[in-house]
Amino acid sequence: MNITTKRIAAATSLAAASLLAAVVPASADPVDASGLTCDGQTYECVANLDFGDGNWTASWGAGVMHVDDLAQQRSPVGVTKVTCDGDTWTCTANLDFGDGGWTAEWGAWIAHEDKDEDAREAPVDVYELTCDGDEGKCVAKLDFGDGRWAAEWSARIKHS
């Protein structure tokens, strides 16, 4: 990539960010996420965001796999609430651990999408979401097949 191409790419990225900032209303607080689904065909998890017209989503890449025994995981803890923030491009899960100040945070693509279900592949619902500070991962158990499918992604586990 030559210097001109780099400058064009940087200007395009800046223009896209400026356009997004102009279109997306600023919000100082993250918004609640619900309807978490993961898709083994696209290796992506998507959460519906409680924002605006209801067509906002957060999505992130996740490894989707069949697990022989989910109980073999170290010691993940439950998640009490998931929020996503379009200003910081992150989703945060409040963890049911210790004094309640522990969270897991991961980068997510925040987008406004057409709610036409036929336009997407066939994501499946998540019935349990846990995060593990020892592993630095969150795992979503998927309501699919024999019940032993899961989506996993890296997350920053921190205490605030």
In-domain check, residue 102? yes
Q: What is the pLDDT of residues 107-118, one digit of tens each?
A: 998 888 765 555
Residue 62 in any domain: the answer is yes
Q: Is residue 66 over pLDDT 70?
A: yes
Please check whether residue 2 lies inside any domain of the structure.
no
What is the end-to-end Cα distance of the chain in Å, rounded?
Answer: 41
Q: Check residue 72 and give its pLDDT.
A: 53
Examine residue 61 and state whether it is found in any structural domain, yes or no. Answer: yes
Q: What is the pLDDT of residues 14-53, one digit of tens each?
A: 333 333 343 444 445 889 999 999 998 899 999 999 999 9
> Is residue 79 predicted with pLDDT exceeding 80?
yes
Q: How confident is the model at residue 56 (pLDDT cuts 50, 70, 90)?
A: very high
How far does Cα 54 stand from its chain's mean position?
A: 17
9, part of any domain: no
In sequence order, the β-bridge partners of residue 77 are 131
Which residue do the tokens 């057409």 mark? 114
The range of the structural domain enclosing residue 130 comes to 27-159
Lowest mean pLDDT among 19-23, 28-32, 72-76, 87-91: 19-23
pLDDT of residue 50: 93
Would 99 be classed as within a structural domain?
Answer: yes
149 part of a folded domain: yes
Rounded to the nearest 5°, which phi and psi values hold at 16? -65, -40
Domain count, the chain: 1
Measured CA to CA, the distance from residue 31 to residue 108 in angstroms comes to: 13
Reported confidence tier of residue 68, pLDDT bands at 50, 70, 90? low
Structural domain contains residue 122:
yes
